[in-house]
């Protein structure tokens, strides 16, 4: 048995392995994950290209990253180790910029501060696809089973030997944003923007890109604080963005943009202080790219994304393929189809010409581009969108349950076969990820289980708020929690 065996088997969820710090997320277990990744990189041949190791602002993230680098170096893999907390999209982009064989990112993204995590990226910068995840879990199991041993070097020795090379990921990433967008035009706009970085790794990035000329940028929660005070978790959802909403109103700002803990997700507050749902934000960006930029290409999205996207696909003649939840599914489908963009309900969106991976910073810039290009406020852009798609209302509720009852609850949910929910007739059932119920008029619901916490995530979208509430009430009764 490998030193420091896991309390329970290490399983990767929708994007990597996450666990509570000092309980399962220990240095020993992180080293085992690193060894499993090193074994996979050596087996695939990608090890010769080196690996990127990055980390976020969570407790001891840099020390966990050092531990990963020590293992990689001991396995003969040249390691590019960031010299500061780094957004996941910047770390992912560094893989392509440095032409590395992949990346290990120490981050728990939007999870509460007690968590940390281990994400893996491919040579293209996207999340490890399911087949790679299966190999990683198998190799990690081999380490715990004693069939492979954790190799470890001393970081200072590895740096002197040139096996670990520290680097600043900021310049290359900022240059990429300048290539993708006309940021000089942004800076000339007479706009006031408030950014909430939620104490995360994205702090400072949007101000650095936008400051100067006429545009005013104010950042809140830009300092590092692993406790994420004031937030249930560093996730840019309505319940966590009251301070941003208040700041937009009190400062008479034109828009508020929020980034999650590792800056791969976006939250948007309009000029009135209203939170735009993640479905509205994604659809608004899609409408901008298709309708104003005139770009074409498939829009890949998960089963929990808005049906507004289908309406846009019909109008502009593009396909809208659906995947299970997780960018390990979205990214490969984007590459396969050379898609224009991809997204999931959690607020993570990706775009052609960049990396096939979520980027909250670029997503926020594209929303801002729609404002700058049209001269319209976010609420007006939303009205333009609804003129094409019709009104859509959305809500997500996370239902906690007793972990001991997971089996019976999961069976009840996934095997449900309702004919009617919330007064609407079920037209189709999709069981590709949890259970998705489709109704007429673009209404739908989804129930699926969190990969990291004892939660059922319940989603509903319909043409009016009252119908959404009825759907959520009926789903809660169906789940029995």
DSSP character at residue 340: S
At 46, the pLDDT band (50, 70, 90 cuts) reads: very high
Q: What are the CA-CA distances from residue 159 to residues 70, 80, 97, 103, 156 (Å)?
A: 9, 10, 21, 18, 5
Average pLDDT of span 81-92: 98
At 415, the pLDDT band (50, 70, 90 cuts) reads: confident
Query: What is the distance between the alpha carbons of residues 417 and 319, in angstroms, rounded to a whole number?
Result: 29
Domain boundary among 168, 198, 225: 168
Mean pLDDT of the chain: 94
Query: What is the distance between the alpha carbons of residues 13 and 470, in angstroms, rounded to a whole number?
Result: 30
Q: Which two tokens stand for residue 178?
A: 């300048």
Q: Give the model's pLDDT for residue 280.
A: 96
Is residue 11 in a domain? no
CB atoms within 10 A of CB 159: 17
pTM, two decimal places: 0.93
Average pLDDT of span 346-358: 96
Q: Is the pLDDT of residue 8 over 90?
A: no
Number of domains in the chain: 3
What percentage of the chain reaches a pLDDT higher than 90?
A: 86
Query: What is the distance between the alpha carbons of residues 466 and 330, in angstroms, rounded to a whole number?
Result: 31
Q: Do 134 and 260 reside in the same domain of the chain?
A: no
Q: Is the pLDDT of residue 302 over 90?
A: yes
Is residue 8 in a domain? no
H/E stretch holding 344: strand 341-344
Q: Is the pLDDT of residue 449 over 90?
A: no
Q: Do 188 and 51 reside in the same domain of the chain?
A: no
The parent domain of residue 285 ranges over 181-389
Give per-residue pLDDT as tens, 194-212: 999 999 999 999 999 998 8
What percentage of the chain reaches a pLDDT higher than 70?
A: 98
Average pLDDT of span 248-259: 98
Q: Give the model's pLDDT for residue 6.
A: 47
Q: Give the model's pLDDT for residue 155.
A: 97
Q: What are the CA-CA distances from residue 141 to residues 9, 11, 36, 51 (Å)?
A: 8, 10, 8, 22
Q: Do 397 and 385 reside in the same domain of the chain?
A: no
Is residue 174 in a domain? no
Lowest mean pLDDT among 114-123, 213-222, 446-455: 446-455
Average pLDDT of span 69-90: 98
Q: Do 190 and 329 reside in the same domain of the chain?
A: yes
Q: Do 275 and 335 reside in the same domain of the chain?
A: yes
Is residue 4 in a domain? no
Identify whether the C-beta of residue 10 lies closer than 8 Å to the C-beta of residue 29. Answer: yes
Q: Give the model's pLDDT for residue 59.
A: 97
Beta pairing, strands 115-121 & 103-106:
antiparallel
Is residue 9 in a domain? no
Handedness of CA 111, 113, 118, 122 (dihedral sign): positive
CB atoms within 10 A of CB 134: 12
Give per-residue pLDDT as tens, 156-169: 999 999 999 999 99
Q: Give the model's pLDDT for residue 1.
A: 41
Q: Is the pLDDT of residue 4 over 90?
A: no
Q: Is the pLDDT of residue 132 over 70?
A: yes
């Amino acid at each position: 048995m490998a030193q420091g065996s896991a309390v329970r088997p290490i399983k990767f969820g929708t994007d990597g392995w996450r666990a509570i710090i000092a309980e399962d997320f220990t240095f020993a277990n992180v080293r085992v994950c690193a060894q499993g990744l090193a074994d996979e990189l050596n087996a695939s041949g990608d090890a010769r290209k080196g690996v990127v190791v990055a980390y976020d602002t969570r407790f001891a993230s840099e020390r966990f990253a050092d531990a990963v680098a020590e293992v990689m170096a001991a396995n003969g893999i040249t390691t590019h180790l960031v010299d500061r907390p780094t957004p996941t999209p910047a770390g992912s982009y560094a893989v392509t910029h440095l032409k590395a064989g992949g990346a290990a990112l120490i981050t728990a993204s939007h999870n509460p501060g007690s968590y940390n995590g281990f994400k893996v990226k491919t040579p293209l910068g996207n999340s490890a696809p399911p087949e790679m995840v299966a190999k990683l879990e198998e190799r990690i199991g081999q380490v715990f089973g004693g069939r492979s041993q954790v190799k470890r070097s001393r970081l200072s020795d590895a740096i002197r030997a040139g096996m670990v090379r520290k680097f600043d990921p900021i310049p290359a990433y900022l240059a990429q944003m300048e290539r993708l967008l006309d940021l000089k035009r942004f800076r000339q706009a007479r706009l006031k923007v408030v950014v909430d970085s939620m104490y995360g790794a994205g702090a400072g990035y949007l101000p650095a890109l936008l400051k100067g000329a006429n545009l005013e940028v104010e950042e809140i929660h830009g300092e590092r604080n692993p406790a994420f005070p004031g937030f249930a978790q560093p996730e840019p959802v309505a319940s966590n963005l009251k301070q941003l909403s208040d700041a937009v109103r009190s400062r008479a700002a034109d828009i508020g943009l929020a980034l999650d803990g590792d800056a791969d997700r976006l939250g948007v507050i309009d000029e009135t202080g209203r939170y735009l749902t993640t479905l509205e934000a994604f659809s608004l960006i899609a409408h901008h790219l298709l309708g104003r930029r005139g770009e074409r290409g498939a829009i890949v999205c998960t089963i929990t994304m808005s049906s507004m996207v289908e309406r846009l696909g019909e109008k502009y003649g593009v396909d809208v393929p659906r995947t299970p939840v997780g960018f390990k599914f979205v990214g490969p489908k984007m590459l396969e189809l050379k898609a224009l963009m991809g997204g999931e309900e959690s607020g993570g969106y990706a775009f052609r010409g960049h990396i096939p991976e979520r980027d909250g910073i670029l997503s926020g810039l594209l929303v801002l581009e729609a404002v700058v290009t049209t001269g319209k406020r976010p609420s007006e852009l939303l009205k333009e969108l609804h003129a094409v798609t019709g009104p859509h209302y959305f809500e997500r509720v996370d239902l906690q349950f007793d972990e001991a009852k997971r089996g019976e609850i999961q069976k009840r949910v996934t095997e449900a076969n309702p004919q009617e929910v919330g007064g609407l007739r079920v037209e189709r059932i999709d069981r590709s990820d949890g259970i998705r119920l489709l109704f007429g008029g673009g209404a739908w619901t989804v129930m699926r289980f969190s990969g990291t916490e004892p939660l059922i995530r319940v989603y509903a979208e319909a043409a009016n708020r009252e119908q959404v509430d009825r759907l959520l009430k009926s789903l809660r009764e169906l789940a029995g929690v």
